[in-house]
Amino acid sequence: MSVGLFDKYATLRGNYESLMAASPRNPFGVVIERPLSATVGIIEGRETLLFGTNNYLGLSQSNAARDAAIHAAKTMGVGTTGSRIANGTFSLHQKLEHALAKTFKRKHAMVFSTGYQANLGTISALVNKDDTLFLDADSHASIYDGARLSGAQVIRFRHNDPADLEKRVARSNKGTGARLIIAEGIYSMTGNIAPLDEFVEIKKRHNIPLLVDEAHSFGVLGQHGRGVAEMQNCEDDIDFVVGTFSKSLGTVGGYCVTNHDEIDLIRLCSRPYMFTASLPPEIIAATLAALEEIQSAPELRENLQRNAARLHNGFKSVGLNTSNFISPVIAVTLDDVPQALSFWNALLDAGVYVNLSLPPATPDNRPLLRCSVMATHSFEEIDRAVEAFGSIAKHLSIA
Amino acid sequence: MTDSVSDISHMILQKLLENPKVPRDINGDSRIVEDLAFDSLAVMNFVMEIEDTLDVSVPLDKLADIRTIDDLAGCLHAIKAEQA
C-alpha cells in the first residue's frame, strides 16, 4: 500500500493539535492588524506594545525610508520582474551595493532578495561536497540550509566555544578540501554575542576563511554600527560578512560583503541569487535611506543600548531567567511548553507582544519568550512590559 | 582504548543510560528516534558528546543514514579508522 503525502505529518499534526488545545490563540498566527508606530500595533483590536519585531532601530516606520520608497515606486514602478543576472538589476541595486561596500569598508557587496537567501546563496557558492564547514551548533536555519544546499561536510562546534572549534578544526587538518568557519554576531534566539575575536585567532592559526552573519548585530553594535566584529576590533580578519535588511534597516533583503574579487563569479554560481526575482525598487530605495539614517543618527544605537540594558535589568529585577549578555535580543527561558504557552498568552492579554519560541527551534530544548528591544521604545513602554512580565511570572509561580 | 564496533556500541549505551529519561531496556538494535524519542537536535547534541569521547568529528550528512545505536557505532568506527 502506498503512503499518503501527508502521512508523515502525523507527529506534527499531533503536536500542533495538543498545542492548539492548550492555547486560546494560535501562537503562529498572530496578526498585527496595523502598526500605529514602530513600538505599538493593533492586535485583536487592541493597542499592543511590540516587543518582538526585530525592528531594532524602529526604521520600518522611518519617514525618510517611506518617502524614498514612494518616490522610487512613482518613478521606477513596483517590481523588477527578473533575476539580477537578467533584467533585474536597476541602477538602484548597484547604488545599494556600493553603499553597503562603503559602509563595511569592503571592496564588494552583493544584494540578495532576502536575508535567508543571502546565507543560502553565499554559503552554497563558497563550498561544495569536497569541502568542510564548521558551524556554531546554534546557527540559524538559513546557515544550516545553505550548508545543506552546498553539499559540504558539516561539522558543528559547541555554541560560542572557541576551544571546541579549534579541537574540531585540528581533527580536520589532514583533509584535502577547502574549509570555512561560520559564526553569527548576535544569536537570534538568545541574544548571545559571539567571541569573534577568539574565532579570528583560530582561523589565522589554521588558515581557514571565516564568514560571519551579522543579521542581528548590524546597526546595533560597534562604534559605527557595523556589528560584533567592529565592536571586538577584528573586522579585517572576517572574510565574508552576511546580513539582512529586515532587522535594523527595517525593510527586506540580504547582503554579503567581502574583499574577495571573485564576487562576480559568485553571482554566476549562486542559485539563490540567480533563480529568483531581484528586490523591487521601492525596497532598495527605502533600504538606502535607512542605511543613511543609521550612519547619520548614532543616537539610535545609544538609545537602543540604553533600552536593552533597562529591559534586561528589569527582567533580572523580577527574577526572570535571561542570558547574561545585554543585547537587543533578550530571551526569558522557561521550563516547559505549557508554562510558556500560559505566559505568552497572558502577556498578549496584558497588551504585550513577544515571540514564543518552542523546541526544537531553541537551544537546550527549553521554550523561550523572545523579546526584541527598539531604540524607539520609551522608558514607560519598557517599564510596562517589565511589570507585565513580573506580575504574570508571579501569578504562574515562576519568579 | 575504545576501538571495535561493539566496544563503541557499549560505550554509547552506557552514555545513553546516564540519562534517566532514556528507557532502561535499550540495546544495539534500538532505534534512536523511534525508541529513544530523540528529535533531530537531540541526536546532533548527543553525537557531539560521543565525538569528544572518541576524538572524532561526524559530518552531519552521515547522521541521515543512522537508524540504530549499532549504526551509529559502525559510523563512528569507520570515521575513526579514516581519521587515524
Report the run of H or E that residue A347 belongs to, with start and end.
helix A337-349
pLDDT at A174: 79
pLDDT classification of A20: cutoffs 50, 70, 90: very high
pLDDT classification of B81: cutoffs 50, 70, 90: confident
CB count in 10 Å sphere of residue A58: 21
Averaged pLDDT, A65-91 = 97
- Residues from chain A contacting residue B41 (CB–CB below 8 Å): 359-360, 365
Cα separation of A295 and B7, whole Å? Answer: 60
Cβ atoms A272, A123 nearer than 8 A? no
pLDDT at A263: 96
Instruction: Give, in order, the Cα–Cα distances in Å from A340 to each of A35, A268, A325, A372, A391.
Output: 25, 45, 22, 17, 15
Which long-range contacts does A159-163 make (Cβ < 8 Å, 24+ apart)? Answer: A159/A187, A159/A192, A159/A363, A160/A136, A160/A187, A160/A192, A160/A194, A160/A195, A162/A195, A162/A198, A162/A199, A162/A201, A162/A202
Q: Is the predicted pLDDT of residue B34 greater than 90, yes or no?
A: no
Cα separation of A376 and A313, whole Å? Answer: 18
- Residues from chain A contacting residue B45 (CB–CB below 8 Å): 137
Q: Give the class (CATH, top level) of B5-83.
A: mainly alpha
Report the run of H or E that residue A332 belongs to, with start and end.
strand A329-333
If phi over 0 gives left and psi between -120 and 50 gives alpha, with beta otherwise, what is residue A227?
left
C-alpha cell at A56: 531594532
pLDDT at B41: 82
Cβ atoms A107, A258 nearer than 8 A? yes
**With an 8 Å Cβ cutoff, are A171 and B61 in contact?**
no
**With an 8 Å Cβ cutoff, are A171 and B57 in contact?**
yes
A127 — contact with chain B (CB < 8 Å)?
A: no
Cβ atoms A215, A243 nearer than 8 A? yes
**With an 8 Å Cβ cutoff, are B48 and A158 in contact?**
yes
Report the run of H or E that residue A98 belongs to, with start and end.
helix A91-104
Cβ atoms A399, A83 nearer than 8 A? no
A174 Cβ partners below 8 Å, 6+ apart?
A: B83
C-alpha cell at A226: 557595523
pLDDT at B38: 84
Three-state SS at A128: coil
Cα separation of B46 and A60, whole Å? Answer: 41
Q: Is the predicted pLDDT of residue B1 greater than 60, yes or no?
A: no
Q: Is the predicted pLDDT of residue A120 greater than 60, yes or no?
A: yes
Cα separation of A53 and A247, whole Å? Answer: 8
Of B39, B48, B56, the CB nearest to A171: B56
Predicted TM-score (pTM) of this structure:
0.94
- The pLDDT tens digits for A281-316 are 999 999 999 999 999 999 999 999 999 999 999 999
Which long-range contacts does A33-39 make (Cβ < 8 Å, 24+ apart)? Answer: A35/A60, A35/A61, A37/A61, A37/A376, A38/A374, A38/A376, A39/A374, A39/A376, A39/A377, A39/A378, A39/A381
**With an 8 Å Cβ cutoff, are B59 and A154 in contact?**
yes
Our CA-based measurement puts residue B32 at a distance from the nearest CA of chain A, in whole angstroms, of 16
pLDDT at A88: 97
**With an 8 Å Cβ cutoff, are A156 and B60 in contact?**
yes
Q: Is the predicted pLDDT of residue A184 greater than 90, yes or no?
A: yes
Our CA-based measurement puts residue B23 at a distance from the nearest CA of chain A, in whole angstroms, of 19
pLDDT at A325: 86
Our CA-based measurement puts residue A360 at a distance from the nearest CA of chain B, in whole angstroms, of 6
A384 — contact with chain B (CB < 8 Å)?
A: no
pLDDT at B80: 86
- Residues from chain A contacting residue B55 (CB–CB below 8 Å): 171
- Residues from chain A contacting residue B42 (CB–CB below 8 Å): 360, 365
Instruction: Give, in order, the Cα–Cα distances in Å from A5 to each of A2, A9, A37, B39.
Output: 9, 8, 43, 21
Q: Is the predicted pLDDT of residue A226 greater than 80, yes or no?
A: yes
Averaged pLDDT, A42-68 = 97
Cα separation of A39 and A20, whole Å? Answer: 28
Helical axes A162-171 vs A196-206, angle rounded to 10°: 20
**With an 8 Å Cβ cutoff, are B59 and A171 in contact?**
no
What is the domain partition of chain B in residue ranges? 5-83
Cβ atoms A96, A233 nearer than 8 A? no
pLDDT at A301: 96
Our CA-based measurement puts residue B61 at a distance from the nearest CA of chain A, in whole angstroms, of 7
For each of the domains in chain A, give its residue range(s) and CATH number, in order of start: 7-60+298-395 (3.90.1150.10), 63-296 (3.40.640.10)
Which letter does DSSP use for residue A8 in this model? G
pLDDT at A321: 93
User: Which of B57, B58, B63, B82 has the most A C-beta neighbours within 10 Å, making it the best mutation to test the interface with A?
Assistant: B57
Per-position DSSP letters for B8-61, written without gaps between them: HHHHHHHHHHTSTTS-TT--TT-BTTTTT---HHHHHHHHHHHHHHHT----HH
- Residues from chain B contacting residue A154 (CB–CB below 8 Å): 59-61
Can the peptide bond before residue A360 be classed as cis, meaning omega within 30 degrees of 0? Answer: yes
Averaged pLDDT, A328-355 = 96
Across chain A, mean pLDDT equals 96
Of B42, B44, B83, the CB nearest to A156: B44
For B47, which residue in chain A has the nearest alpha carbon?
A156
Cα separation of A91 and B70, whole Å? Answer: 58
- The pLDDT tens digits for B66-77 are 999 999 999 999
Cα separation of A195 and A228, whole Å? Answer: 9
pLDDT at A379: 98
Our CA-based measurement puts residue A154 at a distance from the nearest CA of chain B, in whole angstroms, of 5
**With an 8 Å Cβ cutoff, are A155 and B48 in contact?**
no
pLDDT at A172: 87
Our CA-based measurement puts residue A378 at a distance from the nearest CA of chain B, in whole angstroms, of 38
Distance from the Cα of residue A188 to its chain's centroid: 5
Q: Is the predicted pLDDT of residue B2 greater than 70, yes or no?
A: no
Q: Is the predicted pLDDT of residue B33 greater than 90, yes or no?
A: no
Cα separation of A219 and A294, whole Å? Answer: 6
Looking at chain B, the whole-number percentage of residues with pLDDT higher than 70 is 98
